[in-house]
């Protein structure tokens, strides 16, 4: 028996399908010769797209500010990603050039802090969304992000009522063009102090108050782990209200691998079990020197059978 000494605390590494195959090939070559190396290399080339197809993958544009959109789109295609999140009309032609979809668009509204819970903004928000919704549909997309806004002392029930009043003004247009308004659940504990739509139950209550399939929730796994935990049970209970998912490692919002607390393969299996057919978008902030390697690793982690 050969005894191999292993370091007690290995340094975390970024693994991709190709790097693992190459490492296996190199090790096997050293043991058994070059013929097997050639065999493994041929096998690698024969597997251009290893994804299982249970999850529709997207990635958030803003997490890669130093990478030109063209380069991000090329990498997405190579990895097996079908969509890019949070891109506006000016960037849609780049996605279309590479055959990618805008899985969740932006470009309307005042931003995260000034949203539908404040009636002072309703006229402006309605005008902005009324203008963008037909553009989204004309480009072949069907989801547009929106936000509750900050509380600013507003009671939760009043915030729900105010949001519903403003959102109902958009339902006729949304239904006409087949575009779903998707409100993001964000944490108010770490990243977005005072944001009102910060618990799933609040978002679900708003969905019921609005009363249309053209209004649903973006369940951000990172944000909701911080606010309430119990991620898988919440997904199973409220999946019919969820139109879109975002990822992120907790704590820190970095890579979603074993260095953080969430079990992403189990979460993805729970999403698949609900019959979800929308998109899961990677929204972690890469912390390593090769951000696209981190992105490829995340897709492999979420690529469940």
**What average pLDDT does the chain have?**
88
Q: Is residue 30 part of a domain?
A: yes
pLDDT higher than threshold 90 for residue 206: yes
Instruction: Kindly report, residue by residue over 121-143, the tens digit of the pLDDT.
Output: 999 999 999 999 999 999 999 99
pLDDT higher than threshold 70 for residue 48: no
Using CA atoms, how far apart are residues 172 and 155, in angstroms rounded to an integer?
Answer: 28
What's the confidence (pLDDT) of residue 27?
Answer: 36
Instruction: Kindly report, residue by residue over 99-119, the tens digit of the pLDDT.
Output: 999 999 999 999 999 999 999
44 and 56 fall within a common domain: no
Answer for the pair 184, 163: CB distance below 8 angstroms, yes or no.
no
Answer for the pair 280, 255: CB distance below 8 angstroms, yes or no.
no
149 and 31 fall within a common domain: no
What's the confidence (pLDDT) of residue 162?
Answer: 98
Give the number of domains in the chain: 2
Q: Is residue 15 part of a domain?
A: no
Q: Is residue 1 part of a domain?
A: no
Task: Count H helices and E strands in the chain, helices first.
Answer: 11, 8
Please give the average per-residue pLDDT across 235-252, as a whole number.
98
What's the confidence (pLDDT) of residue 49?
Answer: 55
42 and 97 fall within a common domain: no
Distances in Å between the Cα of 189 and the Cα atoms of 44, 56, 245, 260 are 45, 29, 20, 18
Q: What is the band of 16 on the pLDDT scale with cuts at 50, 70, 90?
A: very low
CATH number of the domain encompassing residue 94: 3.20.20.150
pLDDT higher than threshold 70 for residue 25: no
Q: What is the band of 50 on the pLDDT scale with cuts at 50, 70, 90?
A: confident
> Which of 7, 33, 49 is the endpoint of a domain?
49
Of 195, 96, 119, residue with least CA distance to 151? 195
**What interhelical angle do 264-273 and 231-238 show, nearest 10?**
10
What's the confidence (pLDDT) of residue 81?
Answer: 98
265 and 287 fall within a common domain: yes
41 and 188 fall within a common domain: no
What's the confidence (pLDDT) of residue 79?
Answer: 97
Distances in Å between the Cα of 275 and the Cα atoms of 53, 151, 235, 236, 270 are 13, 34, 11, 10, 9
What's the confidence (pLDDT) of residue 234?
Answer: 98
Where in the sequence is the domain holding 40, given as residue range(s)?
Answer: 20-49
Q: Is residue 2 part of a domain?
A: no
pLDDT higher than threshold 50 for residue 21: no
Q: Is residue 262 part of a domain?
A: yes
What does the chain come to in residues?
305
pTM for the full predicted model: 0.84
228 and 128 fall within a common domain: yes
72 and 43 fall within a common domain: no
| Alpha helices, DSSP H, located in the chain | 17-32, 34-45, 69-79, 92-97, 122-138, 156-177, 200-210, 221-227, 231-238, 264-273, 291-302
pLDDT higher than threshold 60 for residue 18: no
41 and 163 fall within a common domain: no
111 and 41 fall within a common domain: no
What's the confidence (pLDDT) of residue 211?
Answer: 98
Q: Is residue 14 part of a domain?
A: no
Q: Is residue 206 part of a domain?
A: yes
- The percentage of residues in the chain with a pLDDT greater than 90, rounded to a whole number, is 84
43 and 54 fall within a common domain: no
Cα atoms found within 13 Å of the Cα of residue 212, Cβ hemisphere only = 20
Q: Is residue 73 part of a domain?
A: yes
31 and 91 fall within a common domain: no
Please give the average per-residue pLDDT across 195-203, as a whole number.
98
298 and 203 fall within a common domain: yes
């Amino acid at each position: 028996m050969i005894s191999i000494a292993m370091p007690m605390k290995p340094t975390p590494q970024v693994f991709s399908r190709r790097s693992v195959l190459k490492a296996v090939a190199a090790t096997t070559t050293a043991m058994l010769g070059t013929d097997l190396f050639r065999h493994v290399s041929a096998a690698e080339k024969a597997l251009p797209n290893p994804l299982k197809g249970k999850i529709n993958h997207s990635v958030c544009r803003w997490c890669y500010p130093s990478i030109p959109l063209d380069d991000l789109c090329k990498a997405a295609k190579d990895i097996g990603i079908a969509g890019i999140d949070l891109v506006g009309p000016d960037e849609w032609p780049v996605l279309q050039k590479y055959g990618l979809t805008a899985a969740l668009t932006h470009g309307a509204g005042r931003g995260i802090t000034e949203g539908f819970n404040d009636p002072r903004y309703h006229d402006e928000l309605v005008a902005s969304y009324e203008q963008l919704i037909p553009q989204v549909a004309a480009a072949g997309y069907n989801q547009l992000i929106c936000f509750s806004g900050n509380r600013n002392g507003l009671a939760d029930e009043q915030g729900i009522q105010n949001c519903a009043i403003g959102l109902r003004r958009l339902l006729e247009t949304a239904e006409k063009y087949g575009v779903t308004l998707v409100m993001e659940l964000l944490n108010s504990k770490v990243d977005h102090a005072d944001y009102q739509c910060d618990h799933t139950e609040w978002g679900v209550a708003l969905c019921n108050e609005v009363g249309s399939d053209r209004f649903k929730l973006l369940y951000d796994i990172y944000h909701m782990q911080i606010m309430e935990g119990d991620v898988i049970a919440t997904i199973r209970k409220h999946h019919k209200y969820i139109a879109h998912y975002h990822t992120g490692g907790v704590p820190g919002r970095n890579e979603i691998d074993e260095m953080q607390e969430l079990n992403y393969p189990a979460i993805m299996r729970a999403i698949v079990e609900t019959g979800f057919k929308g998109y899961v978008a990677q929204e972690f902030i890469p912390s390593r020197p090769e951000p696209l390697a981190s992105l490829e690793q995340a897709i492999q982690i979420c690529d469940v059978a």
